[in-house]
Chain A
């Protein structure tokens, strides 16, 4: 098991290393005006050249690379140029991330709490009314553009229950509508996967054997089937949770939540090179870390995984 974890850890580090380098080289391919912002048009070529040199961008690539590693190891992502000029990127993220994380975690939690029981019930009542209603919900959520029901919830939800139409930091209840809106998609997908994996378990021999032992359906469902059904879902869960930091672009702008949602997009559209670089690195390392945690969670959930070597698939 330790060997497996060690191997998995090394894989993650290697992936991270590759990403760090790819990002570095991609950034060197970006137009250089991204380092200047508004002033670029007014500057003389000599000025530009001098400024680039001052930033170290005219140094040989290996020198730049070493400096880049050095900064990363000190969590120094540099300063933003156009989005929040001259502000430290780590400060920007420190200010914005907590909002996104709070809303993200709350909505993932809500999706899990609603989605998993919903999927389980759908599986147990396969083909009956409850299953059909659940499927209807999943289809609607997936087929209707999210913007439609987000707006619907904002307008009618705030009207009907007399809630604020925008998020207000001093009123906790105003977080309700955005959290619900954000959780709808997750709920649908957790319900769909739970249903699918529980249905897989329904006709397994061990379920029949448990029934033949005289166990109640409740014990069979919760004591036997659900755990087997949730193992394949456990793998994606940590990544889902970690990536809530990236925020929801649409929800955050709809309720004017000062989160991370818009940050990457505006950094790209306004050519804020250091900010793009920092965000891409953060998101991808969180993604890698999430997958790693997911695999470790699988080890905890499924005793058989200790036997898996190399790329052998789980049976």
Chain B
């Protein structure tokens, strides 16, 4: 993150879905600047809109969803205005590529893995025939698949889960993208394989100068890979900052709650912390802070007016009334405080 060049700029993005005649607002006005070369992690519970948010950069929303407001600026183009698949095809793969959650289903079972990667090579690098095949084998080698010549001719069912995810990553790399979106890239894998895949993604990022967005609810992954972390709740980014800021200086009660649910923080013999209540109904307009009903620190104003962003540092923003000068002093829960303090000490020692 040496240079702070903005590669993708999202402004007031709103995404709506129509379900059985009702309108659901999945993304409620998000603004975000993605910096070239960084790793941004987007965390949040299921249904918070993490996937929908990033899918809107590629025109990959389900048929009943559409961008209903705001803009997505990329290389001088507003992607939010794209409608036809011909327009999107200029972005998909070549500019922004994606790695899906489940490597078991991301590959076509009836085509050899080599052919599927080669498709991307042919489409995005203009290579054909033997040259394309050669390049494909290079990518297979690149992502650490042994015996690439042999693997090229094999079908997905002959690959293990980890190897398939490597093949999926090779496909994404073959598109030669600027931005890579990894939608829960390790969730479906064994723990031991998870670390390898994360390591591979970091290598690829260095080698191909990628900007990576990780979508995950695994804070362990976040800590390993992310330069910056955006915390999403109910279709909104409620806190964003550097990894250090989010893990050791978090200010939003929802971020505290997420950190408290880390199993490492649990006390042996006691039930693991969980956030009470359920996320809000996105079919209805949300008044005030969406997290207020589940928030033990909620103020009266949280139920009435949506909090603005308060800047805690040039990189750290939080959408919470607790940061207002008029709000009472609030400290995070003890366990989180202890973890943060330990983390800060460890970080200071380095």
Residues from 149 to 205 in B contacting A, C-beta threshold 8 Å: 155, 157, 168, 171-172, 175
A211 / chain B contacts, CB cutoff of 8 Å: 60, 92
Q: Does B107 contact A (CB under 8 A)?
A: yes
B316 / chain A contacts, CB cutoff of 8 Å: none
Q: A205-B100, A213-B123, A214-B175 in contact; A304/B109 too (CB < 8 A)?
A: yes
B172 / chain A contacts, CB cutoff of 8 Å: 213
Q: Does A209 contact B (CB under 8 A)?
A: yes
Per CB-CB distance, the 4 closest pairs between chain A and chain B, nearest first, are A214-B93, A205-B105, A214-B92, A212-B98
A178, chain B: closest CB distance, angstroms: 37
Q: Does A26 contact B (CB under 8 A)?
A: no
- Is the beta-carbon distance between A214 and B123 smaller than 8 angstroms? yes
In the assembled complex, the Cα of A227 lies from the Cα of B97 at a distance in Å of 25
- Is the beta-carbon distance between A217 and B85 smaller than 8 angstroms? yes
Q: Does B58 contact A (CB under 8 A)?
A: yes
In the assembled complex, the Cα of A108 lies from the Cα of B107 at a distance in Å of 33
Q: Show the binding face of B for A, using Cβ within 8 Å.
A: 58, 60, 85, 89, 91-94, 97-98, 100, 102, 105-111, 119-120, 123-124, 155, 157, 168, 171-172, 175
- Is the beta-carbon distance between A208 and B102 smaller than 8 angstroms? no
Q: A303-B157, A307-B157 in contact; A214/B109 too (CB < 8 A)?
A: no
- Is the beta-carbon distance between B171 and A213 smaller than 8 angstroms? yes
- Is the beta-carbon distance between A209 and B98 smaller than 8 angstroms? yes
In the assembled complex, the Cα of A219 lies from the Cα of B89 at a distance in Å of 12
- Is the beta-carbon distance between A228 and B108 smaller than 8 angstroms? yes
Q: Does A231 contact B (CB under 8 A)?
A: yes
Q: Does A297 contact B (CB under 8 A)?
A: no
Q: A224-B111, A304-B109 in contact; A205/B119 too (CB < 8 A)?
A: no
- Is the beta-carbon distance between A214 and B94 smaller than 8 angstroms? yes
| Chain B, residue nearest A203 (CB) | B62
Residues from 191 to 236 in A contacting B, C-beta threshold 8 Å: 204-206, 208-217, 219, 223-224, 227-228, 231
A302 / chain B contacts, CB cutoff of 8 Å: 109-110
A219 / chain B contacts, CB cutoff of 8 Å: 119
A212 / chain B contacts, CB cutoff of 8 Å: 58, 60, 92-93, 97-98, 100
Max chain B Cβ within 10 angstroms of own Cβ: one of A209, A301, A302: A209
Task: Tell me the count of chain A residues lying within 8 A, CB to CB, of chain B.
Answer: 24
A200, chain B: closest CB distance, angstroms: 13
- Is the beta-carbon distance between B102 and A205 smaller than 8 angstroms? yes
A212, chain B: closest CB distance, angstroms: 4
- Binary contact track A20-51/B, C-beta < 8 Å → 1, others 0: 00000000000000000000000000000000
| Chain B, residue nearest A302 (CB) | B110
A204 / chain B contacts, CB cutoff of 8 Å: 105
In the assembled complex, the Cα of A307 lies from the Cα of B330 at a distance in Å of 61
Among candidates A216, A217, A227, residue contacting B110 with C-beta atoms closer than 8 Å: A227
A241, chain B: closest CB distance, angstroms: 23
- Is the beta-carbon distance between A216 and B89 smaller than 8 angstroms? yes
B201, chain A: closest CB distance, angstroms: 16
B89 / chain A contacts, CB cutoff of 8 Å: 214, 216
Q: A212-B60, A214-B93 in contact; A206/B171 too (CB < 8 A)?
A: no
- Is the beta-carbon distance between B106 and A231 smaller than 8 angstroms? no
B109 / chain A contacts, CB cutoff of 8 Å: 206, 228, 302-304
- Is the beta-carbon distance between A205 and B60 smaller than 8 angstroms? no
18 A/B residue pairs, CB under 8 Å, sorted by A: A205-B106, A206-B105, A206-B106, A206-B107, A208-B60, A209-B106, A213-B119, A213-B172, A214-B93, A214-B120, A214-B124, A215-B119, A216-B85, A223-B111, A227-B111, A231-B110, A302-B110, A304-B157
Q: A215-B119, A224-B108, A304-B157 in contact; A209/B171 too (CB < 8 A)?
A: yes
In the assembled complex, the Cα of A218 lies from the Cα of B108 at a distance in Å of 16
- Is the beta-carbon distance between A304 and B60 smaller than 8 angstroms? no
| Chain A, residue nearest B117 (CB) | A213
A213 / chain B contacts, CB cutoff of 8 Å: 92-93, 97, 119-120, 123, 171-172, 175
- Is the beta-carbon distance between A303 and B155 smaller than 8 angstroms? yes
A206 / chain B contacts, CB cutoff of 8 Å: 105-109
B253, chain A: closest CB distance, angstroms: 35
In the assembled complex, the Cα of A208 lies from the Cα of B100 at a distance in Å of 9
A206-B109, A209-B171, A215-B119 are known contacts; what are 11 more A-B pairs with Cβ within 8 Å?
A209-B107, A211-B92, A212-B98, A214-B124, A216-B89, A223-B119, A224-B108, A227-B111, A301-B110, A303-B110, A304-B157
